[in-house]
């Protein structure tokens, strides 16, 4: 029988199931598995990322977008030199999107809890981290689109106007429950499509994002209203993944659009700022969450996400949906969705791992002409951000 000689023989390293090719890092594969889970959780729960202009930023803090206005054609007079038209060069403007501070979501996983749990704690935690980042991402982008719908074009020149954002009223009364009326929503969609056409906005990439109850109100009409197009029926139709379209505008549903001063669904008695839906009880705070302020002066944000004199809730108190083309807003990412986790001595000291998801991004509107805000419950369109609400603040803002 062979005997082990401690002086001359070295025991073969024990194979660890988490190591990569029997490497020294016994947790290498665990870390990669978690990273994939977190990213999947993010991708499956953010819809805004694929609906707007997205750019990756390296070695800088902001990204510049250049706008050029239109020029005109004119007839040449024989014998006259051609020195440019009377406007000179086309008007030019810029828009800068800055990276906000690092956005994080984290959790501590105790080793003993992971040992005793009968389900995969890491996968569950990873999904929730992805959800948290995706929710914030969508909320900031949709606020930027809303801000663009109320803005003038960045291109401004004397006696020369480029089209700005559009605001369209759903219904004709001062009761916000018309926001759930399928017929009035269809009318608003065709008005929005016509406005986008008139402003020269491409038909490619036009989408709408509605509250879930608005989306299902439209789904119920697909069997009887020939004006609503559908690519599929059954469960696919009800999934809210853009399979319903009106006037060539694909429709998505989200709990993260500004909706009567809330995220999600606003419950309560019908009125000018409440669509009057009775709560099904026990829905949780996140289902009807009051909007937070997100001013550029607030800690962490370096872009304006639609703040004004009376706070976020007042600014969005009549907003009830968005229709836009992908050029309406842009998002700049310096750090895409990533995951980090502690290991080694830190894990030994704390007998567990800190699991961190992170993201560095910034969003703002780009082309206001490509953004449409739906509103209801008031005859007066919501004011441009930073402007006091008055009767003279009407829809259009330069377009």
Could you tell me if residue 34 is inside a domain?
A: no
Could you tell me if residue 199 is inside a domain?
A: yes
pLDDT value at residue 388: 37
Could you tell me if residue 332 is inside a domain?
A: yes
Q: What is the pLDDT of residues 265-297, one digit of tens each?
A: 888 898 999 998 888 888 877 777 777 766 655
**pLDDT more than 70, % of the chain:** 75
Could you tell me if residue 77 is inside a domain?
A: no
The parent domain of residue 197 ranges over: 51-68+91-105+145-338+359-375
**Among 276, 274, 252, which Cα is nearest to 261's?**
274
Could you tell me if residue 132 is inside a domain?
A: no
Give the range among 124-128, 303-307, 384-388 with minimum mean pLDDT: 384-388
Contacts by 307-315 with C-beta closer than 8 Å and gap 24+? 307/385, 307/386, 308/383, 308/385, 308/386, 308/387, 309/386, 309/388, 312/261, 313/261, 313/262, 314/261, 315/382, 315/385
Could you tell me if residue 176 is inside a domain?
A: yes
User: What is the arithmetic mean of pLDDT over 345-350?
Assistant: 81
Could you tell me if residue 83 is inside a domain?
A: no
Domain count, the chain: 1
User: What is the arithmetic mean of pLDDT over 183-202?
Assistant: 94
Residue 105 reports pLDDT greater than 70 = yes
Q: 328-344 as b/e, with b when 16 or more CB fall inside 10 Å? A: bbbbbbbeebebbbbbe
CA dist 375 to 150, 193, 292, Å? 12, 16, 20
Report the C-alpha gap between 38 and 217 in whole angstroms: 33
Give the range among 106-120, 132-146, 218-232, 290-304 with minimum mean pLDDT: 218-232
User: Which residue is associated with the tokens 């001013």?
Assistant: 295
Report the C-alpha gap between 270 and 83 in whole angstroms: 62
- pTM across the whole model: 0.80
Q: What is the pLDDT of residues 118-165, one digit of tens each?
A: 667 788 888 888 888 999 999 999 999 999 999 988 887 776 778 999
Out of 38-42, 84-88, 280-284, 362-366, give the one with best mean pLDDT: 362-366
pLDDT value at residue 125: 84
Could you tell me if residue 84 is inside a domain?
A: no
Give the range among 51-60, 208-217, 220-229 with minimum mean pLDDT: 220-229
Task: Indicate the pLDDT class of residue 241, thresholds 50, 70 and 90.
Answer: low
């Amino acid at each position: 029988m062979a005997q082990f000689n401690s002086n001359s023989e070295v025991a073969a390293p024990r194979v660890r199931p988490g190591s990569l090719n029997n490497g020294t890092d016994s947790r290498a594969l665990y870390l990669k598995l978690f990273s994939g889970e977190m990213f999947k959780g993010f991708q499956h729960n953010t819809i805004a990322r694929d609906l707007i202009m997205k750019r990756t930023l390296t070695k800088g803090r902001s990204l510049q977008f250049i706008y050029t206005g239109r020029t005109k054609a004119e007839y040449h007079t024989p014998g006259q030199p051609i020195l440019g038209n009377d406007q000179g060069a086309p008007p030019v403007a810029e828009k800068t999107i800055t990276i906000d501070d690092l956005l994080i979501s984290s959790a501590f996983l105790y080793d003993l809890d992971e040992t005793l749990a009968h389900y995969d704690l890491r996968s569950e935690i990873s999904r929730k981290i992805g959800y948290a980042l995706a929710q914030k991402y969508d909320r900031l982008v949709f606020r930027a689109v809303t801000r663009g719908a109320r803005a003038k074009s960045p291109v401004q020149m004397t006696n020369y106007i480029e089209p700005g954002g559009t605001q369209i009223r759903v219904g004709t009364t001062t009761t916000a429950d018309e926001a759930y009326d399928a017929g009035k929503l269809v009318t608003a969609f065709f008005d929005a499509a016509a406005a986008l056409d008139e402003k020269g906005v491409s038909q490619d990439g036009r989408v709408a994002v509605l509250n879930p109850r608005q989306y299902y109100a439209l789904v119920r009409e697909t069997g009887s209203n020939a004006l609503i197009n559908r690519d599929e029926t059954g469960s696919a139709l009800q999934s809210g993944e853009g399979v319903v379209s009106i006037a060539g505008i694909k429709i998505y549903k989200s709990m993260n659009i500004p909706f009567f001063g809330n995220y999600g669904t606003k419950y309560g008695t019908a009125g000018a700022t409440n669509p009057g839906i009775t709560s099904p009880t026990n829905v949780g705070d996140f289902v009807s969450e009051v909007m937070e302020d997100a001013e550029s002066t607030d800690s962490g944000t370096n872009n304006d996400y639609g703040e004004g004199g009376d706070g976020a809730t007042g600014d969005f108190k009549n907003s009830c949906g968005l229709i836009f083309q992908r050029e309406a807003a842009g998002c700049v990412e310096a750090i895409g969705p990533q995951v980090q986790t502690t290991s080694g001595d830190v894990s030994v000291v704390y007998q567990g791992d800190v699991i961190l998801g992170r993201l560095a991004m910034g969003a703002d509107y780009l082309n206001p002409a490509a953004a449409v805000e739906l509103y209801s419950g008031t005859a007066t369109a919501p004011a441009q951000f930073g402007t006091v609400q008055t009767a003279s603040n009407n829809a259009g803002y330069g377009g």
